[in-house]
Amino acid sequence: MLNIRRTSAFLVSLTILLQPAMVFAGEWGLPDTGDISRGTFIRAAARAFELKANGKDTLPYRRVPKDMAEVVRAVHERDALELFGKDLRLAAAITRGEAIQIAAILAGLGQSGDGETDFRDVRDGTALARAVDVAIDQEWLVPARSTQFGVLQSLTGIEAEKMLKKASGRAGQQRKESGDSMTTQTIRIKLPPKEKTTVVPKSDILQTVWQLINDEYLYTDKVSADEAAYKAIEGMVESLDDPYTTFFRPVKAQNFRNQIKGEVTGIGAQVEDKSGILTVVTPLRGSPAEKAGLLPGDEILAADGVSLAGLGFLEAVEKVRGPKGSTVKLTIRRNGTEFTVSVMRDVVTVPEIEISMQEGIAIVRIMQFGQTTDTKLRSEMEKLAATQPKGVILDLRNNPGGLEHAATMVVSNFLPKGSVVSIIKSRNSTEEHRTVDHPTFDATVPLVLLINGGSASASEIVAGALQDTKRAKLVGEKTFGKGTVQAVLQFTDQSSLKITIAEWLTPLGRKIDKVGIEPDIKVEYSTQRDEQLLRALELLRR
């Protein structure tokens, strides 16, 4: 796995932490974190509604494990599984749309609602539309955005737990979790009716070509409906010429979801692009790269005999990455000498946060804005604040970004509650993202941020917010300039679309995309010693 200098998604960092062990919450066996499968939701729904199977007839579905037969039968007898057809695909992730349809039927609300919504991802008059009406009315789920409910997004364990409590009439009977103490208000926005439905361009020609291929093409063994469809979708997305908008086929989509969860494999080196050459910043401790003897400053010229020259940064990185257990032969240049080294790829655990003290000054290094930063950094900062350091250095160098919420959480440690962190502008709306917690550090504690060209996306959100408010001095080099927001939508065949939906600005409205953030004090990188860190320490000693 590579800790990458640049990021291809605002919502996730390409520097990934290995996923922690799954934790189960509640009496229905739902996971505390991550997406859940259809089988897990069906089992939880049967328990929530206290369903028992009445008959013993053969189930009309393929491949139902024996340990799932009774709960599947119980839900099936309520006609709640018809949306899946004959193959339940119990291991597949369940979508929010599928879950609310099942819950609506089990709650006796399957025919409720007028079937008319203003969400672009829901077709009026359908069972899904009626279920969305119910979910909104009963406050089961919050819409993903004002214009999209998010029916194709995977359902998380936390969402399922809260929804089933409300749907089964048991909300409030169990011990409240920390998240339940917050009131969520759902606001429905009426949009003007669509004058027409956007159709696929040249759809008549596409249909005709596909028909001719099926009827006339000689080599029938080469005709694949899935391949043809995926190629067409990929071409449509590539026509946008947006490096951050990508269509993932099912296998790549799963790999992408694994990146979000921290299940990424590779050689375990933090790399960056230096003058068009993929260069090792540092191999991670205990990683395959370290075991193979790679050192900081090593230049990766080729992978398995394929030159990386002329490739884009992410394309070069993908040549080095690969599945666990596979071996990649790298051509390395070190101090002018070229040699080859073989590295066996593996799952690598990346430390997300490192905290140290130097001369009474706290140094907090964040390698990515992932789940660990989002959920654990605040408690660590509270402990750190209790030691009353002379100042804090927040090191975001070579941090490619990650979860926007994690960035907001980091900022909340230093700015008053309710402070604007970023402004998100989409085609139809403008939103301000604000801190929701009180700061852990008093405003009198000086703060310095270290940034460089590898600081991107969520890192730039933090830097921009703290610079605009004059809460921190920024030291180092200009940041990368990644100021767009992506959403990831998962489809029923487990393929996904990552699409640019908005851009973000700093609290003062500064544009970051392709611009970056300039440091207050410019200090260039040195291979001899860390001049940037030394300058930050000097500022805080005053």
Active site residues: 457, 468, 482
Say if CB 381 and CB 399 are below 8 A apart.
no
Nearest Cα residue to 523 out of 501, 502, 538: 538
Report d(CA 321, CA 316) in Å as an integer: 9
Query: What gap in Å lies between CA 151 and CA 95, rounded to an integer?
Result: 6
- Read off the tokens for 288: 């395959």
The Cα 315–Cα 51 span in angstroms is: 51
Q: What residue has token string 């392709």?
A: 514
Residue 296 half-sphere exposure toward CB, CA atoms < 13 A: 8
Computed from CA positions of residues 14, 15, 21, 25, in that sequence, does the dihedral angle turn out positive or negative?
negative
The tokens describing 189, both together, are 């926005």
Could you tell me the CA-to-CA distances from 183 to 139, 178, 224, 291 in Å, in that order? 11, 11, 49, 50
Rounded Cα distance between 294 and 298, Å, is 7
* 158 touches 142 (CB < 8 A): no
Calpha distance 131→97 (Å, rounded): 8
Tally of CA atoms within 13 A in the half-sphere of 542 that contains its CB: 9
What is the identity of the amino acid at 332? Answer: I
Which amino acid is residue 84, in one-letter code? F
